[in-house]
A and B are shown apart, each in its own frame.
Chain A
Amino acid sequence: MSHAAVAHHTSTGLDNRKVAFWTFIGSECLLFGSLIATYLVYQGRSVSGPTTREILNIPLTSVSTFDLLMSSLAMVLALAAVQRGDRVWARVWLATTAALGAVFLGFQVYEFQHFVHEGLGFTTNLFGSTFFTLTGFHGAHVFVGVLWLTTLLIRSFQGKLGPEKSVNVEIAGLYWHFVDVVWIVIFTVVYLIQTTPLPAA
């Protein structure tokens, strides 16, 4: 497996873009951390309207969670293929990752419109506001990721995604896995650990 070196000296020997991107991921921890904190703080405080127990669909979300986990597998396989210069499998795995991401988004769209149909809208209650904002932010990140992967796929078809470009794919991978990791937290905290009762006033 060969990785072409970028021709720039750095004090640490590490690629600038990787350093910057890990820093960005650090800041995203605070972004999603604030969203998750708000969701948790407001749990069980909705005054009216549907709440978690009535509306969350665990079997469906388990499938979409599995889908996103498998997309991470596809992503590492895509990176490995790019690094060894395997054009065919690079395209297969990049396309698979993007497709699985799109499927996840499909599940989200279905879930959102189903909830609205069941009476849980964005503005219905605290659960609606916090749930849709948190999962909406996550979904928006997935959407950007799918666009990014599609761009890489197109570059690959243009013959411009050889091993010397593997850092670009690696960084897209870091983004994608992070988005997956955020979903791991959301799935647990929102879907599986549902309403925590408020302490008596």
Chain B
Amino acid sequence: MTEHSDVQHASGAHASTRTYLVIAAVLTVITIVEVGVFYIPALHGILPPTLLILSAAKFALVVSFYMHLKYDHNLFRAVFIAPLAIAVAVIVGLLFLFRVF
């Protein structure tokens, strides 16, 4: 079995212009919600987790669709997720070690 092949362009599936515009709209809405949570004192108890989840959603949308990772070969995902996981673990580890939690 040969794994040998000519370089192809990014794999078959592709987001359309419409998808990009929808994503942009979703990103805008999430940002508005985030800022809204910031300004509504009643929500401040759950501010950190809410904002982290919302920004994680934005992160995922940009990476998956604008950076095309959703449609691309698994390899790119692996090469990105592993260091990202290490970075998150380092941040969390240091927060514990410096007694921020």
Contact = CB atoms under 8 A, between A and B. Distances in A.
A and B touching (C-beta < 8 Å)? yes
Interface in A6-38: 6-15, 18-19, 22-23, 25-27, 29-30, 32-34, 36-37
Interface residues of B, number: 56
A81 B5 CA distance: 27
Contacts, number: 161
A70 to B, nearest CB: 7
Question: Size class of A's contact patch?
Answer: 35 or more
Contacts of B8: 3, 5, 13-14
A118 to B, nearest CB: 20
A149 to B, nearest CB: 15
A62 B84 contact: no
B55 A187 contact: yes
Contacts of A65: 31
Contacts of A3: 8-10
Contact of A37 (B48, B52, B82, B95): B95
Contacts of B23: 73
Interface in B61-90: 62-63, 65-68, 73, 75-76, 79-80, 82-84, 86-88, 90
A135 to B, nearest CB: 16
A48 interface: no
A33 B79 contact: no
Interface of A: 1, 3-15, 18-19, 22-23, 25-27, 29-30, 32-34, 36-37, 40-41, 43, 58, 62, 65-66, 69-70, 72-73, 75-77, 80, 83, 166, 170, 173-174, 177-178, 180-181, 184-185, 187-189, 192-193, 196, 198-199
15 contacts: A3-B8, A11-B3, A11-B4, A13-B8, A26-B79, A37-B95, A66-B28, A76-B66, A181-B59, A184-B62, A187-B55, A193-B48, A193-B51, A196-B100, A199-B99
Closest 4 pairs between A and B when the two form their complex, measured CB to CB: A3-B9, A33-B87, A26-B83, A188-B55
